[in-house]
């Protein structure tokens, strides 16, 4: 159902529902905090451009970004592993993925992302990071070994909207001379990391 009118209508409907829910929540941690639609569409386009095959998402939440990634993954014959610590949110995401018939390309992993990252020995050609920002520096220790050296990319959300919270993380990434980076003023701000060579 990737990018069919029905798919686009439903993901837009879900996004509006998530925004309304977030507006009722005083505690930030109770909010779904999904990626903006323009950023989600950019991610889906990037997967198509790269012809990505092995995709990792850190921070499923209720699966809005996951649906966009999965729609693109079906198009290029890719598989997604998506990590979420909250089992209830994972269940929601699974239901939406089944409803939109993109669940066949998604492996939902429930638990602390550090537990997954610390034992993974895979390369990913597309990694999307949108989780608790206070963990990003620790995650970077693992992620820099997981970005595929031949064309792999790490994309991080909220780097303009929450610039102060990710400042040290961005500095740590930029200190590693093997990588080149840029920030796109799209949605809440996307930080792009790729190997130079």
Own/partner long-range contacts of 10-15 (Cβ < 8 Å, ≥24 apart): 10/99, 10/100, 11/37, 11/40, 11/64, 11/67, 11/68, 11/100, 12/37, 14/62, 14/64, 14/67, 14/96, 15/64
Give the alpha-carbon dihedral of 84, 85, 86, 87, to 10 degrees: 80
Range in 61-65, 115-119, 149-153 the model is least confident about: 61-65
Mean pLDDT of 62-66: 93
Decide which of 1 and 119 is more confident: 119
Q: Residue 2: is its pLDDT beyond 70?
A: no
Average pLDDT over residues 45-62: 96
Q: Say what the pLDDT of residue 110 is.
A: 98
Integer Cα distance of 138 and 142 in angstroms: 7
pLDDT tens digits, one per residue of 4-36: 888 888 888 877 877 787 677 777 666 667 788
**Model confidence at 1: pLDDT above 90:** no
Cα 177 from Cα 102, distance rounded (Å): 38
Give the model's pLDDT for residue 25.
76
Residue ranges of domains in the chain, CATH in brackets? 34-195 (3.40.50.150)
Specify burial of residue 53 (Cβ count, 10 A radius: 0-12, 13-18, 19+). Answer: middle
Query: Which residues, 6+ apart, have CB-to-CB distance to 177 below 8 Å?
Result: 196
Helix (H) or strand (E) segment spanning residue 141: helix 136-143
Per-residue model confidence as pLDDT tens digits over 93-117 = 999 999 999 999 999 999 999 999 9
Could you give the count of Cα atoms lying within 13 Å of 197 in the half-sphere of its Cβ? 2
Predicted TM-score (pTM) of this structure: 0.92
> Which carries the bigger pLDDT value, residue 19 or residue 183?
183
Residue 11: its pLDDT value, please? 86
Tell me what pLDDT residue 32 has. Answer: 62
Six-digit token pair at 73? 């993954």
């Amino acid at each position: 159902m990737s990018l069919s009118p029905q798919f686009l209508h439903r993901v837009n409907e879900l996004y509006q529902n998530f925004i309304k829910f977030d507006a009722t929540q005083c505690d930030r941690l109770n909010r779904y905090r999904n990626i903006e639609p323009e950023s989600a569409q950019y991610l889906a386009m990037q997967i198509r451009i790269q012809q990505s095959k092995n995709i990792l998402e850190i921070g499923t939440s209720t699966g809005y970004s996951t649906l966009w990634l999965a729609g693109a993954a079906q198009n290029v014959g890719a598989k997604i592993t998506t990590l979420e610590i909250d089992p209830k949110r994972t269940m929601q995401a699974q239901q939406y993925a089944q409803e939109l018939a993109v669940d066949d390309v998604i492996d939902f992993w429930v638990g602390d992302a550090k537990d997954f990252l610390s034992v993974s020995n895979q390369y990913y050609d597309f990694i999307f990071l949108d989780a608790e920002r206070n963990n990003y520096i620790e995650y970077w220790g693992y992620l820099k070994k997981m970005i595929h050296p031949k064309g792999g990319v790490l994309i991080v959300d909220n780097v303009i909207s929450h610039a102060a919270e990710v400042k040290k993380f961005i500095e740590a990434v930029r200190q590693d001379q093997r990588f080149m980076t840029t920030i796109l003023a799209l949605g809440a701000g996307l930080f792009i990391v790729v190997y130079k060579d």
